[in-house]
């Protein structure tokens, strides 16, 4: 499998990069919301979750990965901000139906699973199945890293 | 020249001269075929093999009349040299592939008719003689040509992925070529075949060019060629390549060279499909390593389900942990800035001076215990992107009490690649410590909450 990794780059930086980004975003959260946090807990949760995803996307590869790009865009759209891409923008909302028309011989088993994956992985709607799998692999790695970081944080912060 | 060839066909083949109406077409084909060849050479070769010719022809006739059973006979009875010549013959004749239709295994009926129309014997005779004139010295040519023709026929007949029953045994391939030899002249223009040295890459493309070069009759065959030409531009991407049957990425061109595997369709669609399937399976293997517990599961469907479940579970975990964090956060406030400014993580050079400034007080040490201090100092070796917290700059501007240097901690934290959970815990503790420190030192700060009362 090592050879496959060389062809398909699924490099993910170390845990600390993720942790750094996450903590940064959390601190920003704290500065944004004044201290007594008048908003309800659900909003807090949502904000923290969003911060987690955004920081993960930034840590994992910024705009060089399709899923991270889509994630950041989604987040920026919610906040009515604009995302600046370092490279040329890729059309993430590309319709894949045109590709499908060309041949009806795509394995239906794979395709239906790919549909479900597309709903899960950010930015999956515009990807071809093989590209989707690549992005999924990277996404899984980053997600697991983020989960580890958050787990550590929670363990550290919870009262002994 | 054609007459010469016909005469050289031998006395034993008088029916050649009285060939049916298709003879004109045959002659045309023959003329095309015989252009580049030295007739004297061909004649010599022919006379050498004349004795075997009868065997050859008889075998051919038997083959034509009944496809499969005679194939084995032929292979058995064939002499070595005869086989070579035959292969070459067939190679010359036949990149047509339409002739392939005769084999029972394929069962394509559309090409059965040309076989029946002309008398098999005479047809064969003429066919056998003329290609003799153009013996090329290419050894592997025949095999390649056979493959071309076989594949071509399949693609012509049906653009589907019907399994092609070609085996890898040479006798059978030559046998399959046999019917082609005796096919009608309708397909002859297609026989303007591969020149000797050309590699057997994408035959379809070659055929396209050849068909353009060769004007003549070939009604149905030309139609088929056009069909191929009109196929999607993906075909242009696949170019010839000498080598094994795997995909390789050419650094010079942007194309991915794919070679059709033996015994498989070389339709551009099916080629692309195969490439795509291989890509997907390769990536699935990659995913299999990532997802725990996927090794036992076999089959794409189950594995994909596993992967989807895993992704869902990870996302749910993130949500759950964020909920937990929010609840923790409400109870305990801690200064993230301090956490960051301490540069727990390998950071950019910008934070280095922050580290030097921000040092723990001895009082902090007494509060937290010495073991925490060890984790303070970091080696800012690795740079990460955008870690400058603007708030930290404001920290440095304030006056800090002098803190003991943290340099002596660096040795313990040399490996930042192994960022363990213990470190993180200690860092968090340090964050609290810093928070308290700042409170003590600075009194009021807009960041430090006044109500911080949590005790570690």
Which tens digit of pLDDT belongs to each residue from B108-137?
444 444 444 444 444 444 444 444 444 444
Cα B271 to Cα A54, A96, B84, B165, distances in angstroms:
40, 20, 31, 17
Place of tokens 């993580």: B345
Determine the pLDDT at residue B389. 40
Residues 183 to 242 of B: which have CB under 8 A from any A CB? 232
DSSP string of B208-251?
Answer: HHHHHH--S--HHHHHHHHHHHHS-THHHH-----S-SS-EE-S
- Which residues are within 8 A (CB) of A93 and not within 5 positions of it... i.e. 6 or more apart? A125, A126
CB-CB neighbors (< 8 A) of B235 in chain A: none
Longest dimension (CA), chain A: 60
Checking if the pLDDT of A92 tops 70, the result is: no
Nearest CB among A1, A49, A152 relative to B289 is that of A1
User: What top-level class would CATH report for the domain B269-336?
Assistant: few secondary structures
Q: How many C-beta neighbours within 10 Å does residue A16 have?
A: 24
Residue of B53 and A20 predicted with greater confidence: A20
Instruction: For Cα atoms B178, B136, B215, give the angle at the middle one, nearest 5 degrees.
Output: 75
Q: Does the pLDDT at position B215 exceed 80? A: no
Residue B73 vs residue B91, higher pLDDT: B91
Band of the pLDDT at B316, cuts 50, 70, 90?
Answer: very high
Helix (H) or strand (E) holding B90: helix B80-93
Structure tokens at B64: 């034509």
pLDDT band at B335, cuts 50/70/90? low
The model's pLDDT over B152-193, given as tens digits with 9 standing for 90+, comes to 444 444 444 444 444 444 444 444 444 444 444 444 444 444
Mean pLDDT of B80-93: 56
pLDDT band at B313 (very low <50, low <70, confident <90, very high): very high
| CA–CA distance, B445 with B449 (Å, rounded to integer) | 8
Which tokens is B293 given? 């517990």
Mean pLDDT of chain A: 76
Instruction: Give the closest-approach CA distance of B387 to chain A in angstroms.
Output: 7
Smallest Cα distance from A30 to chain B, Å: 8
For chain B, give the percent of residues with pLDDT over 90: 2
Residue among B307, B327, B335 whose CB faces A136 most closely:
B307
**Structure confidence at residue B258 as a pLDDT band (50, 70, 90):** confident
Place B141 in a pLDDT band, splitting at 50, 70 and 90.
Answer: low
Chain B stretch 9-38, residues whose beta carbon is closer than 8 A to a beta carbon of chain A? none
Q: With contacts defined as CB-CB under 8 Å, which chain B residues touch A24? A: 336, 340, 386-387, 389
- Look at strands B256-257 and B248-249 and give their pairing: antiparallel
pLDDT value at A131 more than 60: yes
**Shortest CA distance from B448: residue in chain A:** A35
Distances (CA, A) of A57 to A67, B6, B428: 8, 77, 23
Least confident of A116-125, B211-220, B327-336: B211-220
Residue B69 in this model has a pLDDT that exceeds 50: no
- Residue B212, burial from CB neighbour count under 10 angstroms (0-12, 13-18, 19+): exposed
Q: Average pLDDT, stretch B136-149?
A: 52
What pLDDT is stored for residue B383 in this prediction? 40
Percent of chain B surpassing pLDDT 70: 16
Between A10 and B195, residue with greater pLDDT? A10
Q: Give dist(CA B405, CA B358) in Å, integer.
A: 9
Q: How confident is the model at residue B61 (pLDDT cuts 50, 70, 90)?
A: low
Within its chain, how far is the Cα of B221 from the centroid?
30
Poorest-pLDDT segment among A44-53, B49-58, B213-222, B404-413: B404-413
Q: Which residue has the higher pLDDT, A115 or B214?
A: A115
Q: Give the domain ranges of chain B.
A: 269-336
- Would you call B108 helix, strand, or coil by DSSP? coil
Long-range interactions of B242-247: CB distance < 8 A, separation 24+ = B242/B199, B242/B201, B247/B275, B247/B278
pLDDT of residue B296: 82
Tell me which residues of chain B, numbers 293 to 352, contact chain A at a CB-CB cutoff of 8 Å: 300-301, 304-305, 307-308, 310-312, 314-315, 317-319, 321-337, 339-340, 344-347
CB atoms A1 and B286 under 8 Å: yes
Residue A93 vs residues B96, B299, B347, B453: alpha-carbon distances, Å: 45, 30, 35, 49
Greater model confidence, B4 or B271? B271
> What is chain B's mean pLDDT, rounded?
52
- Number of cross-chain residue pairs from A and B with Cβ atoms under 8 Å apart: 197
Burial, B417: exposed, middle or buried (Cβ in 10 Å; 0-12, 13-18, 19+)?
Answer: exposed
Q: How far is A46 from chain B (nearest CA, A)?
A: 8
Average pLDDT over residues B225-237: 43
Task: With cut-offs at 50, 70 and 90, classify the pLDDT of residue B57.
Answer: low
Residue B249 in tokens: 């990425």
* Range with lowest mean pLDDT among A98-112, B87-101, B120-134: B120-134
- In this prediction, residue B370 carries a pLDDT of 39
Please say whether the beta carbons of A25 and B307 come within 8 A.
no
Per-residue pLDDT averaged across B234-238, rounded? 44
- Helices of type H across B94-185: 112-116, 120-132, 141-157, 170-181
CA distances for B113 relative to A22, B269, B399, angstroms: 74, 28, 100
Q: Which of B6-10, B310-314, B336-340, B421-425 has the highest mean pLDDT?
A: B310-314
Residues of A in contact with B319 (CB under 8 A): 45, 49
Provide the pLDDT for residue B392: 40
């Amino acid at each position: 499998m090592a050879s496959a990794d060389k062809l398909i780059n699924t490099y993910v930086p170390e845990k600390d990069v993720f942790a750094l980004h996450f903590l940064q975003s959390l601190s920003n959260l704290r500065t944004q919301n004044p201290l007594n946090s008048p908003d309800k807990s659900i909003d807090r949760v949502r904000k923290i979750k969003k911060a987690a995803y955004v920081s993960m996307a930034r840590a994992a590869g910024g705009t060089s990965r399709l899923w991270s790009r889509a994630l950041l865009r989604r987040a920026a759209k919610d906040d009515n901000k604009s995302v600046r891409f370092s490279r040329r923008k890729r059309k993430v909302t590309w319709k894949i139906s045109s590709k499908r028309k060309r041949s009806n011989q795509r394995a239906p088993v794979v395709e239906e699973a790919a549909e479900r994956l597309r709903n899960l992985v950010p930015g999956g709607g515009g990807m071809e199945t093989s590209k989707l799998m690549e992005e999924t692999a990277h996404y899984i790695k980053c997600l697991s890293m983020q989960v580890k970081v958050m787990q550590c944080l929670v363990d550290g912060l919870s009262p002994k | 020249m054609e007459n010469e060839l016909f005469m050289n066909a031998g006395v034993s083949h008088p029916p050649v001269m009285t060939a049916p109406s298709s003879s004109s077409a045959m002659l045309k084909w023959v003329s095309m075929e015989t252009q580049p060849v030295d007739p004297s050479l061909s004649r010599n070769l022919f006379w050498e093999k004349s004795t075997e010719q009868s065997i050859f022809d008889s075998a051919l006739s038997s083959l034509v009349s009944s496809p499969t059973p005679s194939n084995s006979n032929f292979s058995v009875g064939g002499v070595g040299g005869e086989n070579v010549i035959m292969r070459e013959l067939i190679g010359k004749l036949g990149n047509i592939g339409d002739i392939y239709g005769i084999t029972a295994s394929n069962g394509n009926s559309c090409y059965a008719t040309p076989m029946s129309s002309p008398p098999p014997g005479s047809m064969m005779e003429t066919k056998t003689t003329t290609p003799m004139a153009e013996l090329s010295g290419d050894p592997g040519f025949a095999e390649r040509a056979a493959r071309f023709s076989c594949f071509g026929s399949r693609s012509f007949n049906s653009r589907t992925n019907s399994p092609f029953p070609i085996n890898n045994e040479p006798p059978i391939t030559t046998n399959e070529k046999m019917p082609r030899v005796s096919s009608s002249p309708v397909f002859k223009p297609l026989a303007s075949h591969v020149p000797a040295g050309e590699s057997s890459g994408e035959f379809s493309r070659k055929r396209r060019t050849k068909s353009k070069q060769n004007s003549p009759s070939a009604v149905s065959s030309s139609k088929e060629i056009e069909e191929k030409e009109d196929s999607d531009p993906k075909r242009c991407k696949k170019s010839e390549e000498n080598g094994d049957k795997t995909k390789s990425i050419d650094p010079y061109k942007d194309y991915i060279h794919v070679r059709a595997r033996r015994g498989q369709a070389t339709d551009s669609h099916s080629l692309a499909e195969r490439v795509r399937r291989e890509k997907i399976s390769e990536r699935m293997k990659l995913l299999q390593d990532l997802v725990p517990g996927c090794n036992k599961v076999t089959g794409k469907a189950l594995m994909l389900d596993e992967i989807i479940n895993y992704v869902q579970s990870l996302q749910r975990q993130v949500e759950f942990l964020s909920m937990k964090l929010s609840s923790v956060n409400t109870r305990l406030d801690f200064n993230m800035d301090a956490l960051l400014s301490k540069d727990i993580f390998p950071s950019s050079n910008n934070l280095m001076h922050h580290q030097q400034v921000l040092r723990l007080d001895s009082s902090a040490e007494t509060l937290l215990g010495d073991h925490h201090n060890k984790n303070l100092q970091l080696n800012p070796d690795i740079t990460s992107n955008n870690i400058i917290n603007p708030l930290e700059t404001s920290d440095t501007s304030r006056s800090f009490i002098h803190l003991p240097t943290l340099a002596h901690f660096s040795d313990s934290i040399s490996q930042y690649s192994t960022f363990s959970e213990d470190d993180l815990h200690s860092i968090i503790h340090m964050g609290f410590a810093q928070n308290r420190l700042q409170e003590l030192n600075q009194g009021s700060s807009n960041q430090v909450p006044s109500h911080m009362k949590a005790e570690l």
